[in-house]
Amino acid sequence: FIQALKTHSVTDVVRMCEPTYSKEYFEQAGISVHEMTFADGGTPPDDVLEAWRQLIVRRYKARTPADAGVVAVHCAAGLGRAPVMAAIALIEIGALDAISAIEKIREKLRGAINMRQFTFLQSYKRTVKSGKGNCAVM
């Protein structure tokens, strides 16, 4: 798994679920692991949203080359928490509207984002003000 992340130049892994693996292996490979957990099927609390925004801005709108990076995000089943955070990144960095971000994610992952999360994303307000960044769904 680490080799696949390295192939895509991933610098950060964000874990949205309870830990099921040791982050030491990732850190030894030069990949930082961030814990940003919230309830399965739920929406992210403000502290998780703020930590997520800070990370994606630091990596995708880097002020220096040393700050640039690629962020991977995952949760247990991969249908709710991680797709919600990916949608937020697409809204913030990719400058997409919520519906376009959800459609882009669902093209790759059918069944992603439940109704509660969909409603949350529809009401989500973009906070990053300047220019379009480089954010993709893989």
Q: Which residues are catalytic?
A: 40, 75
Quick one: DSSP state of residue 65?
G
Question: Which one, of 72, 68, 31, 67, lies nearest residue 52 by Cα?
Answer: 72
Question: Which one, of 90, 96, 81, lies nearest residue 45 by Cα?
Answer: 81
